[in-house]
Amino acid sequence: MRLVIATCSVVYEGRLAARLPPATRLLLVKADGSVSVHADDRAYKPLNWMSPPCTVEFGDDRWIVRNRKGETLTIEISEIHAEIAHDLGPEPGLEKDGVELEIQALLAGNPGTIEEGLTLISRERETGIGPVDLLCHGADGTFVAVEIKRRGEIDGVEQLTRYLELLRQDPRLHPLRGILAAQKVTPQARSLAQTRGIGWVEVDYDALRGLEPSIPTLF
C-alpha cells in the first residue's frame, strides 16, 4: 500500500474525457495495481480510479495508469507533501457472523431458493481480495456469483461489484452476473444494484430452516 498526499491534476481518457484541476489530494496505490484519487470528503468514494489489472508508469512529476481497455489516468504532480508505503500483508476478508454462515450453508444446499434453476458450483470461491460466498450456474447458462448478508446495504453491493470485476478476468466464467442475497435489502442497495446490473433477493431465514414457507422475490 502506498499513500501519497500531493498537489496534482488528473486527466482521464477512455469512454469519456474528464479532468480534475490542480488541488491537494490523496493518491492511493494498492498491491493489486489499482490507483485511486481521493478528496477530503465523499466518504470512501474516490474522485477517480483505475481498477486492476492495470499498469502504472511512475515518474517524478507524472503517473500514467493504463488498463487493458486502453483507458488512461494521467496524474500530473506539482508537489508531494507526504508519502508512506507499507505492506499490509494478506487480507483474511470479512468474517461472517453465525447467522450469515448458516444462511450461506442453507442456500448452498438449496440454491434454487435464490433463483429457480440455480445450481451450486462451489462455496467460498476465491477472487484475490476475498471469497465470494457462492458460485453457481444459472438455468439461462450464465455463471452467477452470490454474496450473502444478513442485511443487504450499499457496502454489500460494492463488495460484490469488486468480486465480479475480478472473477470476470477468468475466461471460463463468461457470462457472469451477480446476486446479493440478504434477509433485508435496503432501498439504497436496491438502487445501486440496479445501476450495476446486479440482482438482489430477500430470503426468509425461518423458511430456510423449514419453520415457515416463504418465496423470495428476485429483481
Residues across the chain: 219
How confident is residue 214, by pLDDT bands cut at 50, 70 and 90?
Answer: very low
Per-residue pLDDT of 102-143, as tens digits, reads: 899 999 999 999 999 999 999 999 998 889 999 999 999 999
Q: How confident is the model at residue 52 (pLDDT cuts 50, 70, 90)?
A: confident
The DSSP line for 34-86 is: -EEEE-SSSTT--SEEEPSSEEEEE-SSEEEEEETTS-EEEEEEEEEEEEEE-
**Residue 105 dihedral angles phi and psi, to the nearest 5°:** -65, -40
Backbone conformation region of residue 167, classed left if phi is above 0, alpha if psi is from -120 to 50, else beta: alpha
Q: What is the CATH number of domain 98-208?
A: 3.40.1350.10
Q: What is the pTM of this model?
A: 0.58
Pick among 3.40.50.1820, 2.70.180.20, 3.30.230.10, 1.20.1440.230: CATH of 2-85: 2.70.180.20
CA 54 to chain centre: 16
Residue ranges of domains in the chain: 2-85, 98-208
